[in-house]
Chains A and B, each alone.
Chain A
Amino acid sequence: MTDVDAFHLPGLTADDVVRWHVREYGDAEVRLRTPVLQPAAIGRIAERLRAARARHLAELPVAAVVDAIAATAARLADPADPHRRIADAALPAATGYSPPMARLILDRMLADWRADALDSLLRAEFGDPAVLDAFRPGPRPGTRVRALGPALAFHIFAGNVPGVAVAALIRSLLVKAATFGKSASGDPLLPALFARTLADVSPELGTCIAITYWAGGTTTLEAAALDAADAVVVYGGADTVRDVRARVPAETRLIVHGPRISFALIGREALTEDAADRTAALAARATALFDQQGCVSPHVLYVEQGGDVAPEDFAARVSAALERLRTELPRGRLTAAEAAVIHQVRGAAEFRTLDGQDVRIFAGPGTEHTVIYEADPTFTPSCLHRVVSVKPLLDLADAVERVRPYARYLQTVGIVGAGKRRDALAERFARAGASRITGLETMPWPPAAWHHDGQEPLRELIRWVDLED
């Protein structure tokens, strides 16, 4: 059993805490402790964060923030580091991923927090990152510009993909905001571990970040945090966003990251006898990573007809590739309800087959994975956990009409084997609502400097100041 403190609250006093709360994860393999805070404590935490920022962060060069984050990432990448050991022991139970999956995700995320990756993010958004330190020459002659982050940013996290929350914390620190995060029940640990590691690397910066958990919607606590913050960043579904939006003071900047869906387009050039198995392996990997719960995970694989390998055959190959991934990247444990839904989806597909429709199910043992080949090209959202549809198209561009109802949810389109048609397809899917078009192999791993959901994660936090000389 692993007992871990899943919070980082610098300066916490006994007066702040009503009592301690311990949540069990897995089969009680992991127990995470968090304080139940007094509503008044939230205001005190916010004040301490603001004061710490004024002393330690507001004047710190952005390059020094980058170095501290990179040093934190380096520690967490070290298998012998005590915080990394906690992560390895507790993340699988805390997030529901298998140990190899949790390790892989963490290691890939850590690569994004290295100095070179953070530099590329800063340059992508600001050109000259020193605008975060001082007035710098701007795009207009005679005007220098300065970028200022909020004094205090409050983040409400959602989901169980380790690293999503930490990426948001890092962005917040890069613009020199004191950063207060409420972690999600699905990823209750990594944000706190990151903050504590950062505090080891830089005790001063460690006082500028606070992380804890309470049940989302605990209005007494959230009200104080929402009131204290200059910017609020919220991750979550429509209900959460609507609820938070109604409670954020009108003058406070609100940044929203809702759920997204992705899909893949697999063209004839990737379906030659030589290429098809590798293409299927990449499609399987994109489906399996994050157990398909990532916003980057494909719900549907649209497969072009007329290649050497027909779409139905391709579906069988994806299934075989998912089967092979079972040892390398086992799927996490499902709740009974999640498994029940998979049985329903499979059963419904089977009855379409019995009804004479062109449907075939390729499934592993138990509920491990399900590939449903279906001639009907309608976009069918997945119940996730490695349940993916393979649908044939005469032309990849035909998918544009299919995804139209989901325009406001689209994120990544993974395109492979489209040859010269790729740019034209990119234009069409960009207009259809997608915010990222990439290959199948890179689909699960957006670069650190991406326009996350079509937004600018650093610039949306800051305000510009013009100095006209």
Chain B
Amino acid sequence: MLDREGQALRAELVGIFGRGVDEPLPDDEFDALARRIFAYQFDRNPPYAAYCRRRGQLPESVGHWTEIPAVPTAAFKEVRLVSGDARRAEAVFRTSGTTRGRERRGEHYILDLSLYHTALLPTFDAFLLPDGAELPIFSLIPPVDEMVDSSLAHMVSVVMDRLGARESGSFATVALGIDDAALDEALRGATARGTPVCLVGTSLAFLHWTDRLRARGARYRLAAGSRLMDTGGFKGRGREVGEEELRATYAELLGIPGDHVVNEYGMTEMCSQFYDNVLRDRVLRGTVRRRHKQGPPWVRTRVVDPETLEAVPRGEVGILRHYDLANLGSVMAVQTEDIGREVEGGFVLLGRAAGAPPRGCSIAMDLLLSAVEERGQ
């Protein structure tokens, strides 16, 4: 729960989120709100305030939102970055558990779940359902009550509940993985009725599932208008598959064309998400621009130089920093380890650093930690 000043900011944010993703948020409006949120967070988030003070950036000295210090996502593993009373958090999302104990998991305290929902719903709606379709949403992610730590499971459950048709549901469990038979029955049923569906899941889950489909010679021709949201990558997970190869598989085995495949880019440490432009372009423009990521107007992304952390000229490759107003209860400005390049209307995500193999004959920390964990030591 947020305190009184938080409630006032919340009310303004709800107003902005409620306008949807089409209504642009002018930079001066974004700037004014961002700096108020910065001041709010500075007052309530001692480790963040200390971090800012070390950089000489105080609410009274920051003249523009671009000067607000961005917190590296790894910091969420070290301290509670909560702007308010952590005991009053309505949820705590944790980064995925590739490691147990040896490396701590990042924690994002969510003080106000309904604010989070108010941010995620219009964005999903705009990028996955731009045609206003009300579809069954079939999830390859275990239900949220099995994965209470997972922001992704939470998001998908909210989306199914609020935006999906009645038959929406999860077809996976933590213990058993994807229930291929139940999913098969649901997909065949929908196809027979001519009902388009929306499949959501991690890229890795889709990869394994489609591998099994291929192995048993199964193939669907899902009804026109069917679509798919995948998220996450596979680096360091034992198999490298290009996004394009996966999209070709979706077209071949599911009958979902590339412009109905929307990759989501989100993270535990952010309340807002980014999505591929393609389906929205197809529906609203008729033509599809080059695939890139777009977010809602209450998020700004800066691409910064990998060495100096200064903003790079538009179009150059750098590290992605996101300024997400929906992160009211934690830290608005986060610096990722993701690489990208700004384009008109958004950015191209070029890679996520986690799991990248080292170049030499040593072994870098994340691979080593996960290798040691896999052995169950």
- CB pair A340–B362 under 8 Å, yes or no, is no
Q: Which of B356, B357, B363, B365 is most buried by chain A, counting CB atoms within 10 A of its CB?
A: B363
- Interface SS of B by simple majority: mixed
Complex: A158 Cα to B359 Cα, angstroms: 8
Contacts of B102 in A (CB 8 A): 405
Q: Which of B74, B238, B239, B357 contacts A344 (CB 8 A)?
A: B74
Contacts of B360 in A (CB 8 A): 159-161, 186, 290-295, 297, 384
Q: Which of B102, B238, B362 is most buried by chain A, counting CB atoms within 10 A of its CB?
A: B362
- CB pair A339–B361 under 8 Å, yes or no, is no
Residue of A nearest to B312 (CB): A336
Q: Which of B71, B307, B308 is most buried by chain A, counting CB atoms within 10 A of its CB?
A: B307
Q: How far is the CB of A120 from chain B (nearest CB, A)?
A: 23
- CB pair A294–B47 under 8 Å, yes or no, is no
Is A96 interfacial (CB 8 A cutoff)? Answer: yes
Complex: A354 Cα to B71 Cα, angstroms: 13
- CB pair B362–A292 under 8 Å, yes or no, is yes
Q: How far is the CB of B46 from chain A (nearest CB, A)?
A: 8
Contacts of A41 in B (CB 8 A): none
Q: How far is the CB of B362 from chain A (nearest CB, A)?
A: 5
Q: Which of A293, A350, A380 contacts B362 (CB 8 A)?
A: A293
Binds B, one of A64-72, A147-155, A233-241: A233-241
- CB pair A347–B307 under 8 Å, yes or no, is no
Is A39 interfacial (CB 8 A cutoff)? Answer: no
Complex: A334 Cα to B318 Cα, angstroms: 12
Complex: A260 Cα to B371 Cα, angstroms: 12
- CB pair A294–B308 under 8 Å, yes or no, is no
- Give the A-B contact count at a CB cut-off of 8 A: 151
- Which residues, 247 to 275 on A, are CB-close (under 8 Å) to B? 257, 259-262
Complex: A405 Cα to B368 Cα, angstroms: 10
- Which residues, 294 to 320 on B, are CB-close (under 8 Å) to A? 306-309, 317-319
Contacts of A340 in B (CB 8 A): 306, 319, 336-339, 353
- CB pair A344–B72 under 8 Å, yes or no, is yes
- CB pair A366–B307 under 8 Å, yes or no, is yes
Complex: A257 Cα to B356 Cα, angstroms: 20
Q: Which of A291, A299, A343 is most buried by chain B, counting CB atoms within 10 A of its CB?
A: A343
Q: Which of A239, A292, A354 contacts B79 (CB 8 A)?
A: A354
- CB pair B377–A354 under 8 Å, yes or no, is no
- CB pair B72–A261 under 8 Å, yes or no, is no
- CB pair B359–A160 under 8 Å, yes or no, is yes
Complex: A429 Cα to B357 Cα, angstroms: 27
- CB pair A337–B351 under 8 Å, yes or no, is yes
Is A409 interfacial (CB 8 A cutoff)? Answer: yes
Contacts of B75 in A (CB 8 A): 347-348, 350-351
Complex: A348 Cα to B76 Cα, angstroms: 8
Is B11 interfacial (CB 8 A cutoff)? Answer: no
Is B43 interfacial (CB 8 A cutoff)? Answer: no
Complex: A414 Cα to B369 Cα, angstroms: 22
Residue of B nearest to A378 (CB): B102
Proximity bits, A105-140, B CB within 8 Å = 1, else 0:
000000000000000000000000000000000000
- CB pair B361–A384 under 8 Å, yes or no, is no
Contacts of B318 in A (CB 8 A): 336
Residue of A nearest to B375 (CB): A408
Complex: A355 Cα to B317 Cα, angstroms: 33
Is B291 interfacial (CB 8 A cutoff)? Answer: no
Complex: A335 Cα to B356 Cα, angstroms: 11
Complex: A416 Cα to B239 Cα, angstroms: 41
Q: Which of B319, B357, B364, B368 contacts A343 (CB 8 A)?
A: B319
Residue of A nearest to B240 (CB): A217
Complex: A336 Cα to B356 Cα, angstroms: 12
Contacts of B71 in A (CB 8 A): 347, 351
Is B367 interfacial (CB 8 A cutoff)? Answer: yes
Complex: A294 Cα to B359 Cα, angstroms: 9
- CB pair A293–B319 under 8 Å, yes or no, is no
Is A432 interfacial (CB 8 A cutoff)? Answer: no
Is B358 interfacial (CB 8 A cutoff)? Answer: yes
Contacts of A159 in B (CB 8 A): 359-361
Residue of B nearest to A217 (CB): B240
Q: Which of B309, B318, B353, B377 is most buried by chain A, counting CB atoms within 10 A of its CB?
A: B353
Q: How far is the CB of A293 from chain B (nearest CB, A)?
A: 3
Complex: A367 Cα to B337 Cα, angstroms: 14
Q: Quick one: given A290-B360, A340-B336, A354-B79, are A345 and B319 in contact (CB under 8 Å)?
A: no
Complex: A354 Cα to B51 Cα, angstroms: 7
- CB pair B362–A239 under 8 Å, yes or no, is no
Complex: A235 Cα to B357 Cα, angstroms: 14
Is A464 interfacial (CB 8 A cutoff)? Answer: no
Is B335 interfacial (CB 8 A cutoff)? Answer: yes
- CB pair A348–B358 under 8 Å, yes or no, is no
Residue of A nearest to B356 (CB): A337
Q: Quick one: given A340-B339, A340-B353, A341-B353, are A161 and B361 in contact (CB under 8 Å)?
A: yes
Is B73 interfacial (CB 8 A cutoff)? Answer: yes
Is A202 interfacial (CB 8 A cutoff)? Answer: no
Is A21 interfacial (CB 8 A cutoff)? Answer: no
- Which residues, 318 to 338 on A, are CB-close (under 8 Å) to B? 334-338
- CB pair B361–A295 under 8 Å, yes or no, is yes
Q: Which of A158, A160, A339, A348 contacts B77 (CB 8 A)?
A: A348
Complex: A355 Cα to B329 Cα, angstroms: 19
Proximity bits, A381-425, B CB within 8 Å = 1, else 0:
111100000000000000000000110010000000000000000
Complex: A160 Cα to B358 Cα, angstroms: 9
Contacts of B362 in A (CB 8 A): 259-262, 292-295, 297, 299, 384
Is A352 interfacial (CB 8 A cutoff)? Answer: yes
Complex: A383 Cα to B103 Cα, angstroms: 13
Is A164 interfacial (CB 8 A cutoff)? Answer: yes
Contacts of B32 in A (CB 8 A): none
- CB pair A351–B79 under 8 Å, yes or no, is yes
Residue of B nearest to A185 (CB): B359
- CB pair A334–B74 under 8 Å, yes or no, is no
Q: Quick one: given A344-B72, A406-B368, are A293 and B307 in contact (CB under 8 Å)?
A: no
Contacts of B364 in A (CB 8 A): 341, 381-384
Complex: A189 Cα to B208 Cα, angstroms: 36
Q: How far is the CB of B175 from chain A (nearest CB, A)?
A: 25
- Which residues, 74 to 107 on B, are CB-close (under 8 Å) to A? 74-75, 77-79, 102
Is B372 interfacial (CB 8 A cutoff)? Answer: yes
Q: Quick one: given A343-B72, A347-B74, A355-B47, are A293 and B337 in contact (CB under 8 Å)?
A: no
- CB pair B365–A337 under 8 Å, yes or no, is no
- CB pair B79–A339 under 8 Å, yes or no, is no
Q: How far is the CB of A281 from chain B (nearest CB, A)?
A: 22
Is B113 interfacial (CB 8 A cutoff)? Answer: no
Is B148 interfacial (CB 8 A cutoff)? Answer: no
Could you write out 7 A-B pairs with CB less than 8 Å apart? A186-B360, A295-B362, A336-B318, A336-B339, A348-B75, A351-B79, A384-B360
- 7 residue pairs, one from A and one from B, having the closest CB atoms: A293-B360, A347-B72, A339-B306, A259-B363, A337-B353, A348-B74, A381-B365
Interface positions of A (Cβ within 8 A of B): 96, 158-161, 164, 186, 235, 237-239, 242, 257, 259-262, 290-295, 297, 299, 334-341, 343-348, 350-352, 354-355, 366-367, 380-384, 405-406, 409
Interface positions of B (Cβ within 8 A of A): 47, 50-51, 54, 71-75, 77-79, 102, 238-239, 306-309, 317-319, 335-339, 350-353, 356-369, 371-372, 377
Q: A291-B360, A293-B358 are in contact. List 8 more A-B contacts (CB 8 A).
A: A259-B358, A297-B360, A336-B306, A338-B353, A339-B319, A351-B47, A366-B307, A406-B372
